[in-house]
Amino acid sequence: MDLRDSAEEAEFRAGLRAWLAGAVPVTTGPDGAPPQGRWGDIEAVRSYTRALHDAGYAGLTWPAEHGGRGLSPAYQAIYLEETARAEATEHIGVIGLGMVGPTIIACGSPEQRAWYLPRILTGEIIFCQGFSEPEAGSDLSAVRTVARRDGDELVVTGRKVWSSYAHLADHCLLLARTDPGQRRHRGLSCLLVDLRSAGVTVRPIRQMTGEAEFAEIEFDEVRVPLDAVVGAVDDGWRVAMTTLAHERGTFGFTLTARLDVAFRRLVATAKARGRDTDPLVRDQIAARYVELEGLRWTNRRGLAALARTGVPGPETSVIKLRWSQAHQRLTSLAVQLLGGDAEPDGWDPYWRHQMLRSRANTIEGGTSEVLRNLVAERVLGLPRSY
């Protein structure tokens, strides 16, 4: 495992840093670091997405024949690191770019590739993911949304929840049961659904931060053409697993880079409060740094495995699990430095947002309980938990 950039990777990183320096507005918060707000101005995000595509930074690892650059995952990892450190906004179609697009490339028809892929790259089509359901918990195979056959159409009825950015999306990669006689992993299909269709209702879910990153989607007799099925009918579990493999992928580099940004702010906050000489505070900051470095090394191991096999391994679950806990501990320490007994309205806006937002880290993207089971079974080889 080589932690250094190759000459080509170093050149790419330098070029990306230079581009970001001109593309990302330079503003500073009270602690001297740029404020976070990646989705505050949607028109600004759309404009940034167009610039990102024009500069060749959208679809870095997509095959060239599908509009990408055909680069290795190492370049995507560099991109995620540098954009997170610059606190740049994301491509407005981040889910389509990182999850749905690669799924269509791997499992979609030639017609689906020709129509969707170019529009995902430019941000013209924005996807969300419709997997989780209100009564299924973390059990993806317990899907109750039904898609019944009616001629050359499927009629979809059901509900999805916790769909990231669904209120911005115009399309959804939906997992539904097409054979109600089958159970668990069988009889499922993945569909590309236009959310502007009759019978679709999207309800944003307001979080305690005041934001609405997630939404609930209701499908009431929504008609979807049969050619919108990705892969074969009743083969949706394989397609969904392809999507989830790409969801993990190199995303740990984004999480770790964002944690690095938060850590630098933590140090700045300790200095501003005159707490950086307190040995107890220094000990806690050192512990947070050790966690950050552990995540960096684990990311590199995962990237090395991805380069060997071409498939993200179960080790990525370790990254998400430990990151979620590390972020919560870091924000809790920051709040202590600000005076934990003070009213939250008086806290620094950045840390108030981070503290509230971090509460969901151990739930979203796979709960910590589910991830521990994955690590136990697939990494450590322990018996299956029932």
pLDDT digits (tens, 9 = 90+) for 29-61: 444 444 444 556 788 888 999 999 999 999 999
User: What is the pLDDT at residue 86?
Assistant: 87
User: What is the pLDDT at residue 249?
Assistant: 64
User: What is the pLDDT at residue 208?
Assistant: 86
User: Domains in the chain, start-ordered, CATH in brackets?
Assistant: 7-92 (1.10.540.10), 127-234 (2.40.110.10), 249-379 (1.20.140.10)
Of the candidates 356, 15, 90, the one whose C-alpha atom is nearest the C-alpha of residue 209 is 356
Say whether pLDDT at 164 is over 70: yes
- Distance (Å, whole) CA 122 – CA 249: 22
Q: From the candidates 82, 247, 291, 315, which is the catalytic residue?
A: 247
Find the farthest-apart pair of alpha carbons in the chain and give their distance in angstroms, rounded: 73
CA dihedral 371, 372, 375, 381 (to 10 degrees): -140
User: Residue 77 has which token pair?
Assistant: 């990892």
At 1, is the pLDDT very low, low, confident or very high (cuts 50, 70, 90)?
low
pTM, full prediction: 0.87
Identify whether the C-beta of residue 191 lies closer than 8 Å to the C-beta of residue 229.
yes
Say whether pLDDT at 194 is over 90: yes
Identify whether the C-beta of residue 204 lies closer than 8 Å to the C-beta of residue 196.
no
pLDDT digits (tens, 9 = 90+) for 117-146: 999 999 999 999 999 898 776 677 789 999
Q: Is 111 a catalytic residue?
A: no
Say whether pLDDT at 242 is over 90: no
Q: Which of 20-34, 121-135, 177-191, 222-236 has the lowest mean pLDDT?
A: 20-34
Say whether pLDDT at 384 is over 90: no
User: Residue 94 has which token pair?
Assistant: 């981040």
Which residues, 6+ apart, have CB-to-CB distance to 183 below 8 Å?
Answer: none
User: What is the pLDDT at residue 294?
Assistant: 93
**Coil/strand/helix, residue 267:** helix
User: What is the pLDDT at residue 141?
Assistant: 79
Which residues, 6+ apart, have CB-to-CB distance to 147 below 8 Å?
Answer: 154, 155, 156, 176, 177, 178, 189, 191, 224
Of the candidates 121, 16, 107, the one whose C-alpha atom is nearest the C-alpha of residue 59 is 121
User: What is the pLDDT at residue 150?
Assistant: 95
